[in-house]
Structure formats: structure tokens, C-alpha cells
Amino acid sequence: MKVVSIGGAVALVTGANRGIGRALTEALLARGAKKVYAAARQPETLRGVGDERVVALRLDVTDADQIRAAVDAAPDVGLVFNNAGVTLATDLAASTLIDHARLEMDVNYFGPLQLLHHMAPTLARNGGGAVVNIGSLAGLTNVPMFPTYSASKAALHSLTQAARCLLGPQGTAVFGVYAGPVDTDMTRELTLPKTLPRDVALAILDGIEAGREDIFPDPFAIEFSGQFESSPKATERQFAAMAVAMASGSTA
């Protein structure tokens, strides 16, 4: 994996108005990024994020026209963070299951896919650069509490592997981030111990600069990675047991 430096970089972060995206934007600036294109569906929610190096972009990652417009507005980008994500469906018997699952796939998989498709030529012109896909442990082993969200993150994991191979010849490094529970709006209802977005963002940037293709940015994820490497089936059973425990009201 090639060395990627944050200092002096021009980055684009999707979903930059809150959670990990906001923390990444602030961490990039603190580490010396030259410019950060901060993208969000509602740019007005980006007020107070960063300094004059931040360029706010309107971007709904499910909107192909907005993706093309964002790419055109950011011709100098060398570092792309596919961070925007959503989790909705939790009950396989819910009447909204299919609609929610489609939206999760649109945001968590097709959004990054479209952005990669349109941004790859820009990265090539700018020397290759790097793409960072913010995935989840749920993309490696399905979390039964979030079955369709997990499936969308599994699709993103597969895309990350393919992009690493296909974009490598143009000099683009591709990183996959596999976080555990992070203290964001998305995980508000989870009673598991959660890591602060700021700490996750710093660990992601450390991983990029260290050239680690697969980044596990929090204590839960680090522990999981060791277990997953030794026995994927054991981690599947562990997550299933965790789901049962949470459903019964126990966090032990």
C-alpha cells in the first residue's frame, strides 16, 4: 500500500455534518489538510464545522445528478471518504422492511459506488490519491439486530476489495474501515460500550498514514478482528448471542 499523507491533502467527506463524518472533517483539518470538501444533504447543517479551508457541498449520495455536480465542483480532490450511511430496517417482519432495505443499499452501497465511478478519473488526474470506505464490522459478520444494514455494508466491503484491485493500476489506494459501536445518532439506542467519533476519526487517519488497507479503529473492532481472523464462524455465533442478549434486555 502506498504512503498517503494527510498534511497538504485535498479531501472530500460525505455525510460530513455529524458523527464520524464531522469528526473526520475536523481531524483532517487538525492534521494539516489543505482543503476539505464537506458534503451533506443539507449544507446549512455544516455551519460551525472547521474553518476557511472547508468548502460545503450539497450531496445526497442517492442522487446521481448531485454526485456529478459534486465531482465537478471538486476537481482537485485526492482523498475521498465514503462516509455517508444509514440504518433503518431491524425487523424482518416489518411492513417497511423492503423499502428500508432498499434505501440502506442505496445510501451504503450504491452511493459509494456512484461516487467512485465518477471520481476515479479525477483521482487519476491528481496522481491517484486514495479512497476510504467507512464500513462496519457488520459488513464482515451480519449483526442480527440490523440484518439488512449488515447486508449493505457487506456489499460495501466487497466493493472495497474490487476497487482496491481495479483502481490500483492508476495509483489509487483503497482503504476499508471496519468500526464497532460508535457513539453517534445512528447507535443511540444501543446499550453497548461505544467509542467517541473523534477517537475513531483519529484512528482512521493513523491507519491511512500507516498504509493499513483494513482499519479497525476502536477497541471493540480490534478485538473482533483477531477473533474473525481465527474463526469467522465463531464471530457469527458471538454476534447472534449478543443479539439474543440485547433482545432479552441483558448486555452481559
- Residues with catalytic roles: 149
3-state SS, one letter per residue, for the chain: CCCCCCCCCEEEECCCCCHHHHHHHHHHHHCCCCEEEEEECCHHHHCCCCCCCEEEEECCCCCHHHHHHHHHHCCCCCEEEECCCCCCCCCCCCCCHHHHHHHHHHHHHHHHHHHHHHHHHHHHHCCCCEEEEECCHHHCCCCCCCHHHHHHHHHHHHHHHHHHHHHHHHCCEEEEECCCCECCHHHCCCCCCCECHHHHHHHHHHHHHHCCCEECCCHHHHHHHHHHHHCHHHHHHHHHHHHHHHHCCCCC
